[in-house]
């Protein structure tokens, strides 16, 4: 796989994770420039030498009892980075905060981040940002679920505002063209998109996010013709048509092969190839030459997917970060500091 060079610093850190792949797709193989983050920032600046170890310990402790933290944190990080950049604005409370946006319905993991922040404030008060905590905790959680332990550069600072009007996360039923345009608007490419959608290899979603595929695809009054008949039958049993206000909105697994194990596996891509993707945007990967080729490669080789995931997660964590004197280091991840 050919990746366009954007720099060499980060590439040195991930070189051992990367290998040659057969797919000929133009894509970046380093962090987006300029790279403003630092490898082991808190240790380099001697402000909280064991910050990453503290976070890892908390993640390991929680994961023993609740494996859902891996998909929950993945979604939380995505919801943060793709809106205002990786500034932890999604963690802020408020009647009109990002949390209240319709796209963020069911978002979870906040209490877990609060716990880590409490531990770090006791050991290194006012030093470690909520944005870095979210990025590091996500890396550690998905690693426990089977993903690679990819490099996370640190030194992010926290945003001070959060509004639901700023949330422009797209529908999970959009076309591959619209999805790619959205990813590109965040400085990511076709390989990043195909790779990061693989996060749907584990976790659950609400029926309301797929009910259009089951009963009224593109306002046709019919189901999505690309959905395998057996999957359609299964999903309709779990997700009845919405006929009245206040009707329950059940949760369903995004990848039945992972299910309640919440394990990071590549069967997601195999399901796309057999028209068994739960979300419409996932099934759309079949309808572009590049995304189909990458999907086939990842379905055939789990290590190829893992290596690409390592780099694409690091690139996502670099979107519009605040550093230096920008933003602040929140004392409580749910509220801006009092002036």
- Which residues have a catalytic role annotated? 75
For Cα atoms 179, 277, 232, give the angle at the middle one, nearest 5 degrees.
125
- Cα 271–chain centre separation: 19
- Say if residue 93 carries a ligand binding annotation: no
Residue pair 266/201 in contact (Cβ under 8 Å)? The answer is yes
β-partners of residue 89 are: none
How many beta carbons lie within 10 A of that of residue 28, not counting itself? 21
Widest Cα–Cα separation across the chain? 61
Residue pair 51/116 in contact (Cβ under 8 Å)? The answer is no
Could you give the 3-state DSSP secondary structure of residue 211?
helix
- Say if residue 336 carries a ligand binding annotation: no
β-partners of residue 322 are: 157
Q: Which two tokens stand for residue 192?
A: 């990043």
| Nearest Cα residue to 273 out of 212, 198, 167 | 198
- What CA–CA distances, in Å, run from 316 to 78, 103, 228, 330? 8, 19, 32, 22
| Nearest Cα residue to 262 out of 315, 201, 325, 209 | 201
Please name the residue ranges forming H helices in 219-278.
229-238, 267-273
- Say if residue 89 carries a ligand binding annotation: yes
- Say if residue 98 carries a ligand binding annotation: yes
In whole angstroms, give the CA distance from residue 136 to residue 60. Answer: 12
- Say if residue 80 carries a ligand binding annotation: yes
- Say if residue 7 carries a ligand binding annotation: no
DSSP conformation letters of 40-52:
THHHHTTS-TTHH
Binding site, by residue number, is 80, 83, 85, 87, 89, 98, 170, 200
Binding site for Ca(2+), by residue number, is 80, 83, 85, 87, 89, 98
Binding site for heme b, by residue number, is 200
């Amino acid at each position: 796989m050919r990746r366009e060079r954007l720099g060499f610093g980060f590439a040195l850190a991930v070189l051992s994770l990367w290998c040659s792949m057969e797919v000929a797709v133009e894509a970046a193989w380093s962090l987006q420039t300029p790279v403003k983050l630092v490898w082991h920032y808190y240790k380099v600046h001697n402000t909280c030498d064991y910050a990453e170890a503290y976070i890892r310990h908390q993640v390991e402790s929680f994961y023993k009892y609740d494996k859902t933290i891996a998909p929950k944190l993945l979604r939380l990080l995505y919801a943060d980075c793709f809106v205002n950049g990786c500034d932890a604005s999604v963690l802020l409370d408020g009647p009109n905060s990002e949390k209240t946006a319709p796209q963020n319905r069911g978002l979870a993991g906040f209490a877990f981040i609060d716990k880590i922040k409490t531990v770090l404030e006791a050991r290194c008060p006012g030093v470690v940002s909520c944005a870095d905590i979210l990025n590091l905790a996500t890396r550690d959680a998905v690693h426990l679920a089977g993903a690679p332990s990819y490099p996370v550069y640190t030194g992010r600072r926290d945003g001070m505002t959060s509004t639901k009007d700023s949330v422009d996360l797209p529908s999970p039923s959009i076309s591959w063209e619209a999805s790619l345009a959205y990813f590109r608007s965040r400085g990511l490419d076709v390989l990043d998109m195909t790779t990061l959608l693989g996060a749907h290899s584990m976790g659950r979603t609400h029926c309301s996010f797929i009910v259009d595929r089951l009963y009224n695809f593109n306002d046709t009054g019919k189901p999505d013709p690309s959905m395998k008949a057996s999957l359609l039958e299964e999903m309709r049993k779990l997700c009845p048509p919405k006929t009245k206000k206040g009707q329950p909105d059940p949760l369903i697994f995004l990848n039945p092969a992972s299910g309640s194990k919440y394990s990071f596996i590549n069967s997601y891509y195999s399901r796309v190839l057999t028209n068994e993707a739960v979300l419409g945007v996932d099934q759309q990967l079949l309808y572009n030459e590049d995304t189909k080729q990458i999907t086939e490669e990842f379905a055939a080789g789990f290590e190829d997917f893992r290596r690409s995931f390592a780099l694409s997660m690091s690139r996502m964590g670099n979107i519009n970060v605040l550093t230096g004197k920008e933003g602040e280091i929140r004392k409580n991840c749910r509220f801006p500091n009092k002036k």
